[in-house]
Structure 1
Amino acid sequence: DGDILASSFPVDTQVAYILSLGVVKEFRKHGIGSLLLDSLKEHISTTAQDHCKAIYLHVLTTNNTAIHFYENRDFKQHHYLPYYYSIRGVLKDGFTYVLYINGGHPPWTILYPFLYLTHLCSCVKFT
């Protein structure tokens, strides 16, 4: 995940990582997860912390609830990570999601149009 920010940012530019964000099942859909994420974003966006340029996380490709949660809050899929997780001895794929803040932005590559089209195709459900 060393390529989250554009190379124009200094090597020591800070990014935040969400290791885990969860809400007990019976308390979901009450805005608690949003409150936690909004609190983090607000803290990082204060003038004392504005040197942090992105928030990123990893999520299982099969965790549609979490994926929708983050996408609805402007996180963007950054990478597909085959066999990233080992769960009970079974390898599972993951995604890296990133939210750019405080003027942060991703690196630009010639592959961006292709990656964007790939992302759009992955969002379409074929029946």
Structure 2
Amino acid sequence: MDPALCDVDFAKAVPCTGKAGSFSIHHARTVHGSAENTSNRPRRLLLYEVTAADAWPLIDGPGQGRSLDAFNERIIAGEPTITPRVEPVPVIMPLPPAPRQGSIYENQSSLKNRFFATSAAPAAATM
């Protein structure tokens, strides 16, 4: 998202910090971000999707690569349904592809405006 083009009041942002190894859980539509990793160590990322049983994903969901049975097998609470809940939210479908399609980081690499400053060259990663 381009901070210059959105209507988010960044003055209301709340920092959420933690020690190394900490993690955060938040709603997918929560505006969130972190400063560039300037260390020589990789920043780990784990994306774990949790959704209501009646809130099917609009992309890569039943009928788009995953079956309804596969979706239902992942339910941890609630009952399977064939009636999805759809909320009116501002979304463009299909999603426009990123100029540099790839990982979440690659998709964001072509952004011209960023909330966090970036360095000229990222540090070389070491394991």
TM-score by length of 2: 0.28
* Bigger radius of gyration: 2
Write 1 or 2 for the structure with the bigger share of strand.
1
TM-score by length of 1: 0.28
The answer to which structure, 1 or 2, has the higher relative contact order (CA under 8 A, 6+ apart) is 2
